[in-house]
Amino acid sequence: MQTREFLVSAPGKVILHGEHSVVHGKVALAVSLNLRTYLRLQSTASGEVRINLPNIDTFLAWEITALQPLLAGCKAEQGDLKELDADLLKRLREFTGILDDSTDTRSMAVLAFLYMYLTVFAEALASITVSVWSELPTGAGLGSSAAYNVCLSAALLSARGTISSPLTPQQESARWCKDEMELINRWAFMGEKIIHGNPSGVDNAVGTWGGFLRYHAGNITPLSWVPILRILLTNTKVPRSTKVLVSGVKDKINKFSSVMKPVLESVSAVSCTCEQTLTEMATHGPSAEHYNILEELIDINQHHLNVMGVGHSSLDTLCRVTLARGLHSKLTGAGGGGCGITLLRPETDASVIQSTFEELKSCGFDCWETSIGAPGVQQHSSAALSQDVLKILNSY
């Protein structure tokens, strides 16, 4: 291993426009969320592999001598990045006792970690301790698993020497070159496959590249020179099933094809118009008219999503509370509860934000003032991290 410690972080994600239409071949815009997952990897001489996960009282540890036999005869030793090694996954499930149908967040995080560790370090397993903390709530559709997998991928590949360590002594944060970022993204996608089965690849791409990404017909294209936008992020904390919501939209399209297909076309047009507006903002500088257009598109898309049947009374409350203060909101992700975003203009007064916070919290929601368009995965020095984050990582 080339260095003793690696500190990395990756952002979460929100869907700005195009929820549900993307699975029907339309355009969607995904964007990085400046709530991040942080991971520290330390090389040790313990003869063990350890991981500390958030909200767990104790670390999990495995002897390297116990892990080594799991690799025998596995194609994972060849570093296959096209398909998961089903045999290795089966052995890992038997080794950890994680059932095939498990959806437990901790269990799936452990499974992804062990698979990626064994495949990255297949030729020479090393003693390491990994500690993770995240600003992202899990299960809220904000890409928390992808941010975790991107961090794992970047740290493990760097520690193994497969990719460089881009941070210099003069820097607090640094990013990898394009080819190395693509490798990080491919390994993170393997982790996403373990956790989600058949992911789109959007979440890990956002976590890797950051900024805004265009998703269309399976192709993911990062957008250049886009602005960072301030938002309120609201978690209604209303649980929902993405699978059920996606199925419901599909059923409605099949039942009312001539009605719903134009809706999907309109959603795609909203995504394209938003992309054009963001490009103009980056090229010529943001104007009041640009923000007017973004707000109108938010309102239009929220109506689209209600027509699709993925709205919820909690999201209606979010829209009502924010609109009363001149702010515009929409759901992000699958809908049916979950999270929503509210655009903040540069001139939005702090008192307006505070009163909005207070009323939304009185509704039982969680709120954050943050931004979208944040950088993707980065390596950091300790000086780049807040004392709060360092305190948590050091407390494990």
Q: Which residues contact 278 (CB under 8 A, 6 or more apart)?
A: 212, 223, 226, 227
Cβ atoms of 22 and 242 within 8 Å: the answer is: no
Give CA 357 to chain center in angstroms: 24
Cβ atoms of 340 and 360 within 8 Å: the answer is: no
Look at residue 28 and give its three-state secondary structure: strand
Active site residue: 134, 144, 145, 329, which one?
145
Active site residue: 9, 32, 158, 203, which one?
203
Give CA 260 to chain center in angstroms: 29
DSSP line for 291-315: HHHHHHHHHHHHHHHHHHT---HHH
Cβ atoms of 332 and 16 within 8 Å: the answer is: yes
Q: Report residue 142 as tokens.
A: 């904000």
Cβ atoms of 175 and 384 within 8 Å: the answer is: no
Using alpha carbons, select from 362, 354, 360 the residue that is nearest to residue 340: 360
Q: Which residue has the tokens 């520690």?
A: 159
Q: Is 203 a catalytic residue?
A: yes
Using alpha carbons, select from 161, 154, 172 the residue that is nearest to residue 210: 154
Using alpha carbons, select from 378, 55, 356 the residue that is nearest to residue 209: 378
Detail the DSSP E strand segments found in 208-333: 212-216, 219-222, 229-235, 328-332
The HSE-up count of residue 30 (CA atoms within 13 Å, CB side) is 32
Backbone angles phi, psi at 182, to 5 degrees: -65, -35
The C-alpha angle with vertex 40 and arms to 36 and 46, in degrees rounded to 5, equals 155
CB atoms within 10 A of CB 182: 14
Q: Is 158 a catalytic residue?
A: no
Residues carrying an active site annotation: 145, 203
